[in-house]
Amino acid sequence: MLRKAKADIFTPLISATFFATCRTQLRRAPQLLLAILLLAIAACSSQKPQPTPPTTQNSGAQSAASLQRWEAMGKLGVRSPKENGSANLTWQQANSNYRIHLSGPLGAGATIISGSPGGVSLQRGSEPAVFASNPAQLTEQIMGWPLPVTEMFYWVRGLAAPGAVSGQQKNTQGQLQSLQQSGWQLNFSGYQAVGPYQLPTKIKAATNQAAGPVSVTVVIKEWLPR
């Protein structure tokens, strides 16, 4: 009798607790369904292939700007009141240091132009090296025509050098075709893929000075990024 009485006492309490729990779960049901739905949507979205970002037109120029070390080989031609001819060209660049080697008729056998942030030196054949702070002034003094090496560090990669620019034109791929800078008119014809870079194969630079017009043509036949 005692056990039955205890059972009768707890039965209403158990029933009340059960129904209270059920009511709580029913109230939470919409929230649980919403959470499950959001998780399902997130899972589906993560499985969809992500679109490839579009390539910007100037991506090639940006890649070329990151090229700071290279060896380039080709030809350099000059037409000026004092010089007409061409030479084999080897240009070695290591960040802000460079070494330009000219060999052939134009270089009178061999001409080496070496530069760094501290200045530039020029040596022809077995003659003593001559030092200066500006490569264009140095080459004009020794060779009779200016070679704007400071700006050519950018031009040879198909980039405008820092400073004022006018008449800049690019093709539909964002590659530089022409510009006027530092007293020079430049035209770029032809680009080649060199690893991740798009680099010009021919650059013609012309200027008109008091001593007469000067035209410098650089043809790059081989690029070796370092």
How confident is the model over 39-75, as pLDDT tens digits?
A: 545 554 455 445 444 444 444 555 899 999 999 999 9
Same domain, 36 and 125: no
Same domain, 98 and 177: yes
210 conformational bin, left if phi > 0, alpha if psi -120 to 50, beta if neither: alpha
Find the domain containing 7 and state its range. Answer: 1-40
- Averaged confidence pLDDT in the chain: 82
The count of structural domains within the chain is 2
**What confidence category does residue 36 fall into, taking pLDDT thresholds of 50, 70 and 90?**
low
Same domain, 159 and 79: yes
Q: Which of 148, 125, 127, 126 is nearest to 138 (CA)?
A: 148
Q: What is the pLDDT at residue 99?
A: 98
Distance CA(211)–CA(37), nearest Å, equals: 80
Report if residue 144 sits inside a domain: yes
| DSSP calls for 68-92 | -EEEEEEEEEEE-SS-EEEEEEEEE
Distance CA(128)–CA(147), nearest Å, equals: 20
Contact indicator for 122, 113 with CB cutoff of 8 Å: yes
Check pLDDT > 80 for residue 16.
Answer: no
User: For the residues 186-199, what does the mean pLDDT come to?
Assistant: 94
Same domain, 3 and 72: no
Distance CA(225)–CA(72), nearest Å, equals: 8
Report if residue 46 sits inside a domain: no
Q: pTM to 2 decimals? A: 0.72
